[in-house]
Amino acid sequence: MPNLHAHLRKAMHRLRQLQSGYQDIERAGQEVQLRQSEQSLRITLESMGDGVISTDQNEKVTFLNPAAQELTGWTLEEAVGNPFAQVFRIYNSLTGEPAENIVRTVLQTKDKVNLANHTVLISKDGTHRHISDSAAPVRGLQGETLGVVLIFSDITEQYQLQQKLLDSEARSKAALQLARLGTWELEVNTRNFLISPECCDIFGLPHSKDYGHDALERLVHPEDREIVTGIYTKALQGDEQSFQIQNRIFRKSDDALRNLKTYVNVERDEMGNLHKIIGVVQDITEELKVGKRIQESEKLYRTAFEKSVIGQAHVELDGRFLRVNDTLCKILGYRPEDMIAHSILEFAHPTEKISLQESKQRILTQGITTVATPRQFLRKDGRIAWLSVSSLLVKNSDGEPLYILSSLIDITARHQAEMELIQSERRLRRAQAQAHSGNWEIDLETMKMWASDEAFRIYGYEIAENNILPLQIPQNAVISSQRKMLDEALELLLTKDIPYDIEFSIQRINDGKMRALHSQAIVERDEENRPRRVLGVLQDITDRRRLEEEYRRALATTMDGFLLYDQSFHILQVNEAFCNLLGYSWGELTGKPVEEIEADLNLLKQRRDVVLNVGADRFETQMIRKNGEKVIVEISLSYIPGSDTFCAFVRDITERKHREEHIRFLSYHDVLTGLYNRTFFERECLRLEEQQIFPVTIVMGDINGLKLTNDVFGHMQGDKLLTAIAEIFRRNLRSDDIAARIGGDEFCLLLPYTTSEEAKVFCEKIQADCDREIIRFEDGNSVSLSIAIGHATRWSDEDGFHDTFKLAEDVMYKQKLLEHKSMHSTLITSIRATMYEKSHETREHADRLIDMACRLGRRMGLDDSQISDLELLGALHDLGKIGVPEQILDKPGPLTDLEWVQMRRHPEIGYRIAQASPELSAVADGILCHHERWDGEGYPQGLKEANIPLLARILSVVDSYDAMTSRRVYHDPISSEQALEEIRRCAGSQFDPQIADLFLEMMKDGSYSHAVY
């Protein structure tokens, strides 16, 4: 930005000098130079992407470039003469107050001023844009302040991205609060210990006090302290990065015994030294209490449920779902598209709708967070799902509400288990007091059966007096195919004391429904060891079997693979998804050793040990498909106590890992060349600096002629230069060397442990490879590859990387100046060949123009320098047709309005190409103006009379004559007499009348003859 201000000050100073001397210079020659300078300044300002406004010392607007006109909404004619503050209305987006008048500040301080952050510009049509700008004084020859120049740019998109980042951080913080987790951090070097308020609550400590790590350790249960200390010692000394700890504490505030689970992560610096230990603490006391009460038969189902992901939803302020996750969809049985844009009330149980509306209103009006509230919802199949709902209002950085974040945990199974547990406890108390509920007895002497009330209800038989149940009732209820099995089991109990533990089915008497029962019994013997009575318990397990069947169906339909194996790592059970993942059938996997499908069995064994300590673990590994291919998977592993088995949910993450790898590649690589980008280059500089690696040589390279190649042959051809240079670098680099593209045509190489002499040899080899490389374009043209290279070496800490980089850059630019002329000469030859081929203008046509123009120029008394420029202009005046589509150039009939717009761009295209080359810059204005007319009706600028450069006026006459008398795609030739008559007719309108008269005289006196082609 400072360089741009300096450029503008110089340009405006030059303009004032030209204006002040305008009255004193001779009109014939110097007037042309003045207009050319004004034109150059105007083109520079109009081509800038940033807005430019200038004022006088009275704060009146004197100039706006096109970019400033677009951003402010004021045209140049509207704005000039108006107060700056009226045209450039700005305010502070944070306070809403008008921002300072930057022009007034500059005039008062006489120094450069930058606007404050959060500045917003209001355009004339009311559009608000965030801007970044600066202003500087314009000084006269004596140092006096003549006015102010303001340069500004639209940064609305960057500002919005920054605000989105702040909103994202707010949502992350809200999610942490909703999860009710506590955190602590221990900085190993400083021993600083930070503990979050949520963590203080878990340990029962006040928020306002600073604590050391030992303050938490003192609260650990004495029996667990050695385990906790050992884990943290392992974290400090070992190489493992993360741990899980489960231990007990006595909460400080009430001495209550609480069970905690802590996830510990170890951070190391780039040198591998231990830097920080971070812990995330969760109170799992209530979960453990519920887990202990659930029946053994439901442990596998409970374990799978506990490891499932929590349902999450973003709810709009009007109650409609904005976003839902897969877990919530699976819980309720809907697809995401069935839920998005629908109100949450549509899925709630009718009894919950009023309370949900009231809860939402409290969240919106009072900001109250709802925590772990049980709610009833309706699944798609009509069944009720009990969900624990926690909600939090998420706001943006301005405090405006965005949406409601809700966490919905499926507690249906837990709710049912709690209800069944309450009933079971009631039955147990009655059984202990009366020995009736769910019990039965058979007196072997009388063969009479006694049964509790619950046993009567199980069989569907009306409770009889004294609870005597006729023995034939339960016998006849058993389905016929299983009666023999029950008789044999009872016989084995009576004769051999083999435990009676059996499952069977009955047809209930009162309604005929089939029920599944589980019965256990013992035999009571007399003093002579003779069986006297059988005592048994009876349980209806129909619902449990239904749950187990649902569990099996869930495993069969889940997208994740399921794997169950024992302590010896043999597979016990898999689901269809796991079979599909590895390409095996169910029979091929059952009983198979895990080591045959696991690429790293040692890792699985290590994780098994972790799971045995903490109960569960999640990690990534590779598995082997049946065809030998490896697949990257994420495994959620848990241990099922009492069964000595391990339960694993397996998810294929191969595609995700590949996407992550691709993103990492794009973060540090240039997409076109495949080399590293500037971000990686700067990171490597810091690494080499921190590791004290010496010597390090920096090599800077800049492709010669890339911009000219892009302008003339197109960016696709310019890209070939870039990729060719990149390939040469790759061929010559060592394994530790770094090559990066740090700019459009700039490359930088880092060569560790490389001296200046070695770098010189390296650079000479690069130059030699470039000299041998010929880049061939699709149109048949070709160009030699050329690059300017400079290098500098960093020998010690005293040499900064920035200084070494600057030195290499300076050497490179010196070489670039030496090679500039040669490279441009080669490109100009290619340009002329391309122009003749694409525009269908022949070299003979160019030769005729040059001959006629030079003859006419000598008649007008032009000097040798002007004649040389006229000759070059005659050869390259249609240079810009390179940028016009061939279908327009070759069209035999009239052009459409849109085609004429494209055709009329060729003088500007040619002007830009000529300006890029020192050899052509002298005729750039002639190329730009060779289609201007004496009466001002020409293009592209509508210049009039003497404002048109002299050489362009000469070329206009001879080019028109040759065009009329030559054969073209769009017309046949006419005679020389007809063409001369047309030039005479258009003198004073299309042509300079004096030049037209001289040309007619030249053609009339026979000094030039022309044949029709």
706-713 and 715-732 helices cross at what angle (nearest 10)?
140
Which of helix, strand or coil describes residue 119?
strand
Return d(Cα 932, Cα 947) in angstroms, integer.
Answer: 10
Neighbours of 126 (CB within 10 A): 7
pLDDT at 17 over 60: no
- Non-local (6+) Cβ contacts of 328 within 8 A are 311, 312, 313, 339, 408
Q: Closest Cα partner for 169 from 343, 390, 402?
A: 402
pLDDT digits (tens, 9 = 90+) for 214-267: 777 888 888 888 877 777 777 777 666 777 888 898 888 888 889 988 888 888
Please provide the DSSP assignment of 758-802 as one string: HHHHHHHHHHHHHHH-EEE-TTS-EEE--EEEEEEEE-STTS-HH
State the average pLDDT over residues 414-432.
60
- Confidence band (pLDDT; 50, 70, 90) for 294? very low
**Do residues 515 and 508 touch, judged by C-beta distance below 8 A?**
yes
pLDDT at 642 over 70: no
Return d(Cα 73, Cα 56) in angstroms, integer.
Answer: 21
Q: Closest Cα partner for 219 from 194, 199, 198?
A: 199
Neighbours of 976 (CB within 10 A): 16
Token pair of 184, please?
């602590």
pLDDT at 872 over 70: yes
- Confidence band (pLDDT; 50, 70, 90) for 297? very low
- Tokens 């149940």 locate to 469
Angle made by CA atoms 873, 879, 882, in degrees to the nearest 5: 175
> What is the 3-class SS of 834-857, one letter each residue?
HHHHHHCCCHHHHHHHHHHHHHHH
> How much of the chain is helix, strand and coil, in % rounded to 5?
45, 25, 30
State the average pLDDT over residues 959-981.
83
**Pairing label, strands 571-574, 561-566:** antiparallel
pLDDT at 968 over 60: yes
Neighbours of 774 (CB within 10 A): 10
- Non-local (6+) Cβ contacts of 74 within 8 A are 64, 82, 87, 124
Token pair of 202, please?
């878990």
**Predicted local distance difference test score (pLDDT) of residue 1012:** 37
- Non-local (6+) Cβ contacts of 978 within 8 A are 964
Q: Closest Cα partner for 765 from 783, 749, 743, 745?
A: 749
Left (φ > 0), alpha (ψ -120 to 50) or beta: where does 230 sit?
alpha
Q: How does the average pLDDT of the chain come out, rounded?
A: 80
**Predicted local distance difference test score (pLDDT) of residue 30:** 46
Return d(Cα 759, Cα 741) in angstroms, integer.
Answer: 19
Token pair of 416, please?
């049912």
Neighbours of 801 (CB within 10 A): 16
**Predicted local distance difference test score (pLDDT) of residue 777:** 72
Return d(Cα 715, Cα 708) in angstroms, integer.
Answer: 10
pLDDT digits (tens, 9 = 90+) for 747-759: 999 999 999 999 9
CA 449 to chain centre: 74
- Confidence band (pLDDT; 50, 70, 90) for 781? low
**Predicted local distance difference test score (pLDDT) of residue 1:** 43
Distances in Å between the Cα of 999 and the Cα atoms of 167, 861, 877, 955 are: 74, 13, 19, 11
- Confidence band (pLDDT; 50, 70, 90) for 838? low
Number of residues that this document lists for the chain: 1013
- Confidence band (pLDDT; 50, 70, 90) for 597? confident
Of 704 and 757, which is predicted with more confidence?
757
> What is the 3-class SS of 645-701, one letter each residue?
EEEEEEEECHHHHHHHHHHHHHHHECCCCCCECHHHHHHHHHHHHHCCCCCEEEEEE
Return d(Cα 259, Cα 247) in angstroms, integer.
Answer: 6
Token pair of 584, please?
């095996």
**Predicted local distance difference test score (pLDDT) of residue 707:** 75
Q: Which of 317-321, 323-327, 622-626, 966-970 has the lowest mean pLDDT?
A: 966-970
- Confidence band (pLDDT; 50, 70, 90) for 879? confident
Return d(Cα 331, Cα 109) in angstroms, integer.
Answer: 68
pLDDT digits (tens, 9 = 90+) for 373-391: 888 999 989 899 898 888 8
- Name the amino acid, one letter, at 351: T
State the average pLDDT over residues 35-51.
60
DSSP single-letter state for residue 115: P
Q: For a pLDDT cut of 70, what percent of the chain falls above it?
A: 82
Angle made by CA atoms 640, 564, 639, in degrees to the nearest 5: 20
Which of helix, strand or coil describes residue 164?
helix
Phi, psi of 108 (to 5 degrees): -80, -45
pLDDT at 432 over 50: no
**Predicted local distance difference test score (pLDDT) of residue 813:** 84
**Predicted local distance difference test score (pLDDT) of residue 937:** 93
pLDDT at 555 over 90: no
- Name the amino acid, one letter, at 747: F
Please provide the DSSP assignment of 492-503 as one string: HHHHH---EEEE
pLDDT digits (tens, 9 = 90+) for 481-529: 888 888 888 889 888 888 888 889 999 988 888 988 888 889 998 888 8
Of 349 and 47, which is predicted with more confidence?
349
pLDDT at 706 over 90: no
**Predicted local distance difference test score (pLDDT) of residue 379:** 93
Distances in Å between the Cα of 586 and the Cα atoms of 558, 566, 609, 724 are: 16, 17, 28, 54
> What is the 3-class SS of 535-603, one letter each residue?
EEEEEECHHHHHHHHHHHHHHHHCCCEEEEEECCCEEEEECHHHHHHHCCCHHHHCCCEHHHCECCHHH
Q: Closest Cα partner for 455 from 512, 504, 503, 517?
A: 517
pLDDT digits (tens, 9 = 90+) for 136-153: 888 877 778 889 888 888
Distances in Å between the Cα of 803 and the Cα atoms of 44, 687, 698, 762, 799 are: 32, 17, 11, 21, 7
- Non-local (6+) Cβ contacts of 466 within 8 A are 450
**Predicted local distance difference test score (pLDDT) of residue 462:** 86
pLDDT at 312 over 90: no
DSSP single-letter state for residue 310: P
pLDDT at 589 over 60: yes
State the average pLDDT over residues 944-951.
93
State the average pLDDT over residues 913-938.
85
- Name the amino acid, one letter, at 99: A
Of 780 and 917, which is predicted with more confidence?
917
State the average pLDDT over residues 561-579.
86
- Tokens 């600073």 locate to 210
Helix (H) / strand (E) containing 171:
helix 156-179
Token pair of 281, please?
């603490």
**Predicted local distance difference test score (pLDDT) of residue 860:** 92
pLDDT digits (tens, 9 = 90+) for 76-128: 888 899 998 888 888 887 777 888 888 888 888 888 887 766 788 889 888 88
Burial class (CB in 10 A: 0-12, 13-18, 19+), 107: buried
